[in-house]
Amino acid sequence: MKIFGRGKKQDEDAGVAVRQDPAASGTVEAGLYRLGVDVGGTFTDLLLFDERDGRFWRAKVPSTPHDPSKAVISGTRRICAEAGIPESAIRYFLHGTTVATNAVLEGKGASVGLIVTDGYRQVMQIARSLVPGGLAAWIIWPKPEPMAKLENTVEITGRMNAQGEEIAPLDEANIRAQLDVLKARGVEAITVCLMNSYLNGAHEQVVGRLAADILPEVPVSLSSDILPEMQEYERALTTVANSAVRPVVGKYVDNLASELRGLGMEGRISLLRSDGGLMAADKAAEAPVNLLMSGPAGGVAGALWVAKHAGLENILTLDVGGTSTDVALIEKGEPRLVRDTSVGDLSVRVSSLDVKTVGAGGGSIAHVPDLTKALRVGPESAGAMPGPVAYGRGGELPTVTDANVVLGYLPDSLIGGEMTLDREGAKQSVQGIADALGIDLYEAARGIIDIVNENMFGALRMISVQQGYDPREFALMGFGGAGPLHANAVGRLMGSYPVIIPNSPGVLCALGDASTRMRAEAARSFSKRRSQTSDEEVKAAFETLAIQVTRELAAEGVAPEDMLIRYEMDVRYYGQAFEVPMMVDMASLGADGIAAIASAFDAEHHRLFTFNMETEHELVNLRTVALGKEQAIPAREIAKGNGSPDAAKVRDHEVWMDGGVKPAAIYDRAGLRAGDQIVGPAVITEMDSTTLLLSGDVATVDAFGNILITPA
């Protein structure tokens, strides 16, 4: 049975390429360009925007994991050369980075010295006493080493109570002696986390000053600065994580800045935080724990920009890479924020976009355990090396990519033809799965795809159905290298139509970096029951926070008239563990007081959990967010077509779908025009990604070149 043919080279661009938007041309004018740069595990993506008319250039260069700034610099030079502009024309350099994330995942953080209250030396050792997994999981649980080693943890006397009052004073000699211990141990960063400091950080500040005196070269992070919230372990862990990544992020930011300046780039350098906002690079380097989800946040920001121009407000995002998939929910043009960030084993209390990650990607390995004869896919991944069998780099285990190759969903060449896929090898590896299950090769390949799609579906359910959202009211946007291959199928499972495949789905994160806005946030623990506070007190507290964030953004060059200030309050029923973040409208707070917030909370609680309680409301945390001016980056319309995609057709093709071989066709995305319609099944290829269109669905190209898939 022959179901695959070798097609012509689909794209003249090489794998490492700079490519100009077909419609781009024009003269150079200094200071009107924004450059978004996203550093991924395999590739560093760049996207250069002309602020005046929305022309853009994109580039992809191999990442340089030993020193990520190398790829950033070489990519910057390349994209500027291609656009024909000097580096000095870049006004904004906007950057999503996984430097902090990788330092955590690879255990390459700094050696952290931790200073705690007398009696609490083992706070990181005991943690929350939790052994993950089910009954008897303790038998097989490998306990991770604390991020601040116990031998690098010291205690000091002095104590605050739960009202923030000092009940035992500090002893300077004692603090100096303990700092000397840490100095002798050669720690590279220091965290101070004292009991009840979330209510009163005075003791921590004293320790911080003495530390700066005794260890002047070592950066100090205070828990009362980084996370002024109740729960000593979570606060310590978050602050230790900050300390652990601070030296590596600081060094990276310094190198990058000096090299960019060396190229003549004088524009502002900002980093994308986990919460989707930008902050000045030097500021970010002081609180790098805010950067742990910087990478995925870029994708969500990019999706927001695309959605806005496509006229869609409710979006589920599906960002599929080689080893994992990130999903997020955008409702009414706002991505959901959560108060936790998880990276590997580490879970810290930092605001981030609500991005869930599952170990399901193109490199996820399929296997059949002997005992159960079940088909399992992932979480083990073949990664970039050796990668899937089809990549021919020595991989021998069947992966999701191999299944896609077997079924014809991935044509024989990737990234514009530079890389040819080993289809025979892929078939052989998937045959092993088929034999173990006693089924046909194509059924096995389809099974692998179904299961990985199901894992993505599970992650999307967690952020939608489980949060009380109906996924049928959302569109699904697929991006990342492999998102467009799976988006149609996952969208069908969710009932989320249209399924959107944006332009340049492989560099959407870089687009997000380029299109998002400055953001500053200030928060404080409030912890008062409704009867214990007043409208006036809440208003005054918000106003103090507002002054703080306004000042912060002003320092980053944002004019006061361009700022948007937002107020948020975490509310719960008194005694609950889980608080619901509520947006606060200052005008209605003035008119109706806390009562308005309370009733909005009741409605939200009912939506989430199907019931309300008579228990009093507790106002847990207050937060104020200042946003810089929204970037008015225009989307560029593409040429209109006549509705027929024939001009873009590369060749006829066959895919295995719905239980058998189906005739299909391959299209070159660059040849598609606005209004063109393709009937599934079909495969649409472009430089950095491949889109699979299922039978029964239709793809329509919108005015901006996005592909919108809907049921036929």
User: Least Å distance between CB 671 and other proteins?
Assistant: 36
Stretch (H or E) spanning 91: strand 90-96
Integer Cα distance of 94 and 75 in angstroms: 14
- Contact flags string 546-585 toward other proteins, x per CB under 8 A: ---------------------------x-xxxx-------
Length of the chain in terms of residues written? 712
Integer Cα distance of 323 and 363 in angstroms: 5
User: Least Å distance between CB 66 and other proteins?
Assistant: 31
**Taking contact as CB under 8 A, which single stretch among the options 250-258, 458-466, 563-571, 633-641 is the one that binds other proteins?**
458-466
Placement of tokens 């930092």 in the chain? 350
User: Least Å distance between CB 120 and other proteins?
Assistant: 6
Nearer to other proteins, 57 or 601 (CB): 601
**134 near other proteins (CB under 8 A):** yes
Among 43, 57, 92, 198, binds other proteins (CB under 8 A): 198
**608 near other proteins (CB under 8 A):** yes
Nearer to other proteins, 31 or 369 (CB): 369
* Burial class of residue 445 (count of CB atoms within 10 Å of its CB; 0-12, 13-18, 19+): buried
Among 27, 129, 561, 587, binds other proteins (CB under 8 A): 129
| Pick from 623, 625, 629: nearest CA to 560 | 629
- The site that binds other proteins (CB under 8 A) totals a number of residues, namely 69
* Single-letter amino acid code for the residue at 99: V
Among 23, 214, 437, 708, binds other proteins (CB under 8 A): 437
Integer Cα distance of 102 and 97 in angstroms: 9
**359 near other proteins (CB under 8 A):** no
Integer Cα distance of 492 and 472 in angstroms: 10
Among 125, 544, 642, 710, binds other proteins (CB under 8 A): 125
Among 33, 56, 92, 120, binds other proteins (CB under 8 A): 120
**Site for other proteins, residues 222 to 261, rule: CB under 8 A:** 230-234
DSSP characters for 394-425? S--S-BHHHHHHHTTSS-SEEGGGTEE--HHH
| Pick from 653, 709, 668, 675: nearest CA to 478 | 709
User: Least Å distance between CB 235 and other proteins?
Assistant: 8
**202 near other proteins (CB under 8 A):** no
**532 near other proteins (CB under 8 A):** no
Among 2, 66, 128, 332, binds other proteins (CB under 8 A): 128
Classify 241 as helix, strand or coil. Answer: helix
DSSP characters for 516-573? --BEEEEEEEEEEEGGG--HHHHHHHHHHHHHHHHHHHHHTT--GGG-EEEEEEEEEE
**Taking contact as CB under 8 A, which single stretch among the options 131-139, 217-225, 288-296, 584-592 is the one that binds other proteins?**
131-139
**510 near other proteins (CB under 8 A):** no
Residue 412 Cα distances to 340, 368, 651, angstroms: 41, 27, 13
Among 251, 268, 461, 649, binds other proteins (CB under 8 A): 461
Structure tokens at 187: 């720690």
**Site for other proteins, residues 48 to 87, rule: CB under 8 A:** none
**Taking contact as CB under 8 A, which single stretch among the options 242-250, 264-272, 437-445, 479-487 is the one that binds other proteins?**
437-445
**420 near other proteins (CB under 8 A):** no
Residue 195 Cα distances to 129, 393, 636, angstroms: 18, 53, 55
**142 near other proteins (CB under 8 A):** yes
**126 near other proteins (CB under 8 A):** yes
User: Least Å distance between CB 702 and other proteins?
Assistant: 30
DSSP characters for 140-172? T--PPPPSS-GGGEEEE--EE-TTS-EEE---H
Nearer to other proteins, 142 or 311 (CB): 142
**Distance between terminal CA atoms of the chain?**
29
Query: Residue 458: CB partners within 8 Å, gap ≥ 6?
Result: 358
**603 near other proteins (CB under 8 A):** no
> How does 187-197 read in b/e, with b if 16+ C-beta sit within 10 Å?
bbbbbbbbbbb
**659 near other proteins (CB under 8 A):** no
**138 near other proteins (CB under 8 A):** yes
CA dihedral in degrees (79, 81, 83, 88; nearest 10)? Answer: 90
Contact yes or no for 218/188 (Cβ under 8 A):
yes
**592 near other proteins (CB under 8 A):** no
**369 near other proteins (CB under 8 A):** yes
Task: Enumerate binding residues for other proteins (CB under 8 A).
Answer: 119-123, 125-131, 133-143, 150-151, 159, 161-162, 167, 195-196, 198, 230-234, 369, 371-376, 437, 439, 443, 446-447, 450-451, 454-455, 458, 461-462, 466, 527, 573, 575-578, 608-611, 613, 615
